[in-house]
Amino acid sequence: MIVLGIESTAHTFGIGIVKNGKILSNVKKTYTTKKGGIIPIEAAKHHKKNKEEIYSEALKEAKIKESEINVIAFSQGPGLAPCLIEGMKFAKELSLKLKKPIVPVNHCIAHLEIGRITRVHHERIPKKGTKTSHEASKHFSEKCLLGAKNPVMLYASGANTQIIAYASGKYRIFGETLDIGVGNFIDNFARYLGIGFPGGPKIEKLAKKGKDYIELPYKVKGMDIALSGILTNLKQKIESKNYSKNDLAYSMQETVFAMLVEVSERALAHTEKNELLLGGGVACNKRLQEMCKIMCKERNAQFFCPENSLLVDNGAMIAFLGEIMFDSGIKFSFEDSNKIDIKPRQRTDDVNVSWK
Ligand code: AMP
Ligand code: MG
């Protein structure tokens, strides 16, 4: 079975193609700015302009013809309404044209489910008795194919920051940001430093050059975190001109990532799970990955971190979850596609996880 997945919740328009759980292609284009953040209408225009080209590229990369597609999955929410509409319109167009069913997918859960094919994130440990590196890596990849089975996920993206884990039929949110998402927080901080969107990768570079830790507020409230106060504090520090950009970036990462790791560890302890999975664009940050890895090692948990192309918003994870949902019987026929709408505010725990 071949499933095509469409992602368009925010800045990225992506199309991925999955065949029986294997990713055949994952093509995307991201709206960026030199200064300032995302303007939803502009991002939606970006998606409209690029969708056909991304679609052709995804088919080409997967080496399939459009007639071979069996199912069309798309990100139904949560996200920015104008952007979601572009993705849904394209899904419906394809569904009607190809006469194939549609599966609406929750974006956050797609970030989680892709962990099923995510490799364990640790150094290669050769199996006893294996001599060649080829043999060792074969053993490694066999082991890794298993992926995360029942993880706690730290979902750290632009608009969302949640600690999610499965319990009694749903992916429950054990903790989350009480105000803004960690990616938006970092992008705002970057904007105060005069850096455009996305700010995360540039802040990571500055942080590497930071030497002195500057004390910042640390806001963990039970299982939740709060970021807007830290943002105000950083803004004041930037305006005072008493601090170097590098030290501020470094201190921001050390403080905020420690908060994320603390709530993730608490969720692991409470749920008695022993797998941590990272997801979302901020998870591309090597320092965050390192801190998670250390925490997991200390409590004997396994740490899973997908490759960057699957961490950021992408169509492959939508196709991947679309296939799982379709297999469990969730679908709309093309004749019923008018019954489907976007869900900009859909929460992770609104979805009944009937496929698990
Ligand atoms: P997403 O919404 O999941 O696609 O993630 C986008 C967010 O990830 C943006 O806010 C980016 O600034 C952030 N981001 C991307 N790469 C990094 C990085 N290396 N470090 C921190 N944040 C990052
Ligand atoms: Mg995302």
Span 189-207, mean pLDDT? 93
pTM: 0.89
Give the pLDDT confidence score for residue 32 in this predicted structure: 85
The model's pLDDT over 129-148, given as tens digits with 9 standing for 90+, comes to 444 344 433 443 333 446 89
Which residues' Cβ are closer than 6 Å to ligand 1? Answer: 10, 157-158, 183, 186-187, 198-201, 204, 280-282, 284-285, 312-313
Distance 335 CA to ligand 1 centre (A): 38
Distance 199 CA to ligand 1 centre (A): 7
Top mutation candidate among 108, 186, 206 for ligand 1, by most atoms within 8 Å of CB: 186
The SS3 call for residue 96 is helix
How many CB atoms lie under 10 A from the CB of residue 39? 15
Top mutation candidate among 253, 282, 305, 314 for ligand 1, by most atoms within 8 Å of CB: 282
Which-ligand-closest: CA of 75? Answer: 2
What is the C-alpha separation between 228 and 292, in angstroms, rounded? 23
Q: What percent of the chain has pLDDT over 70?
A: 92
Span 69-76, mean pLDDT? 98
Q: What is the DSSP string of 341-355?
A: ---TT--GGGS--TT
- Ligand 1 atom with the smallest distance to the CA of 280 is 3
The model's pLDDT over 6-62, given as tens digits with 9 standing for 90+, comes to 999 999 999 999 999 999 999 999 998 777 778 999 999 999 999 999 999 999 999
